[in-house]
Amino acid sequence: MDIQALFESFRQKKIIVLGDVMLDSYILGNVSRISPEAPVPIVSLRATDERLGGAANVALNLASLGASPVICSLIGDDFEGKRLAGLFAENNMASEGLVKSEGRKTTVKTRIIGNNQQLLRIDSEQTDDISKADEDRLFAKIEALIGSGIDALVFEDYNKGVLTESLITRVIALCREKGVATTVDPKKKNFFAYQGVTLFKPNLKELKEGLDLGFSISDTLAFDAAVESLRTKLKHEITFITLSEHGVFIKNESEKHHIPAHVRNIADVSGAGDTVISVATLCLCAGLPIEQIAAVSNLAGGLVCEKAGVVSIDKEELMEEMKQFIGWNY
């Protein structure tokens, strides 16, 4: 499959993104002096910005590659929730899977940036599991969407309470029944709830925490043993582990590959995992071999690390790098 055909196939994919959405708020300014009231910098306000964050950033990445994402999540019936819903509309993104909850607070992460450096982050959030009533309302939305035709479902877990163990189990069972691929960007809390998914993508830290193991990435025997332990416990099809500056690792029942990282001028690693799971999901839906899934996702994750802040992948940049580093031609 050539590049044009691959990206054209992305345009035909409809993907549910299920997980914790949040409002990323930025306060941007300049710092030239320290406060006389306390040993802290004074930020001279220059601008403010609000962006879609968390699972919503996965949806943005999917949209930037031409796919049709549908966000499924829970937000509060508050000002921040209304602003979040407004941002979905402004970005022309489907949000019929959003559920408003009167008893829930919308997650907001506020970053204070001075002289292009993050000085402080303020989190306003509620992280306990969503109620059974809210879970049932969210599951009904997912069930209806899957019934209308979906190519894959991404679980994007930020440990903010939307992905309860019960909801995860119910959705996986439904996807199996309907033949929908499932991919996961996990966190520690429900690490082993994702039984039998299609692709499971922890980073190295999450792998160690999930298995309660400590080992060096240079210890290949220990790493391979950890991967086998994960596969035994989860019984999933494809294991895909991001290794930061060491690249990525991918394995299924019959083959495994380590793709080294490319040399980058790293500006910010925020959101790289969102990009990787988005690209991996689309490549999986396109039927690429696992080595190519890993190679393309590795390039995409590296590209967004060269930009400051949480950004989605640029399709044209990714296509150019695929030609340069993987040898794909138009």
- Residues marked active site are found at 274
Measured torsion, CA atoms of residues 272, 286, 197, 192, in degrees rounded to the nearest 10: -10
- How are strands ordered across the β-sheet holding 41-54? 41-54, 21-34, 108-114, 117-124
How far apart CA 195 and CA 305 sit, in angstroms, is 31
Q: Is the dihedral of CA 288, 293, 296, 300 positive or negative?
A: positive
Token readout for 220 is: 């290949």
Cα 225 from Cα 156, distance rounded (Å): 26
Kindly report the number of other CB atoms within 10 A of residue 286's CB atom.
Answer: 20
21-34 and 41-54 strand pairing: antiparallel
Contact by Cβ (8 Å): 165, 193: yes
Q: How many CA atoms lie within 13 A of 33 on its CB side?
A: 4
Separation between Cα atoms, residue 17 and residue 20, nearest integer Å: 9
Choose among 149, 148, 153, 178: nearest CA to 167.
153
Strand, helix or coil for residue 227: helix
Q: How far is CA 170 from CA 144, 160, 165, in A?
A: 14, 19, 9
| DSSP result, 258-324 | EEPPPP---S--TTHHHHHHHHHHHHHHTT--HHHHHHHHHHHHHHHHTSSSS-PPPHHHHHHHIII
Which tokens sit at 20?
A: 């914790």
CA-closest candidate to residue 320, choices 280, 269, 273, 262: 262
